[in-house]
Amino acid sequence: MATIAQPTGPLNKSALAAAVAAELGTTTHEGHRAVDAVLNAITRALAAGHSVTVTNFGSWRPVPRPARQARNPQTGELVTVPARQGIRVTTSPRLRDLVRTGAVTASIRKNPSR
């Protein structure tokens, strides 16, 4: 690990890629490739109907949403909302504790000293 990147504001995809690159000691382009690879793997797994769990971070799982009746707010008429696939996101207790304590040097590694 080259350095621990401390975010100075909201973390968008580009800032995340820069932080990953700094932590790996590589170029920002490689950081973008790493972030894209992880996000693409998560997306493909969820699209295939599989759950994704990252230890000490959280989990994503697809959940079926049944068809239902709703009202059009402009006309008041009943409409049928078709069934669809949704995603349920759950954060890990460790991540919640790290956020609560404000640990800016936090790590989700099981043994961060390694």
| Tokens (6 digits) for 51 | 């759950």
Query: What is the model's pTM?
Result: 0.79
Q: What is the pLDDT of residue 113?
A: 59
Within 13 Å and on the Cβ side, how many CA atoms surround 17? 15
The DSSP bridge pattern shows strands 58-65 and 84-91 to be: antiparallel
Query: Given this model, what pLDDT does residue 86 score?
Result: 96
- Which backbone phi and psi does 77 adopt, to 5 degrees? -80, 150
Strand boundaries in the chain, DSSP class E: 52-54, 58-65, 68-71, 78-81, 84-91
Residues of the chain with pLDDT under 50: 1
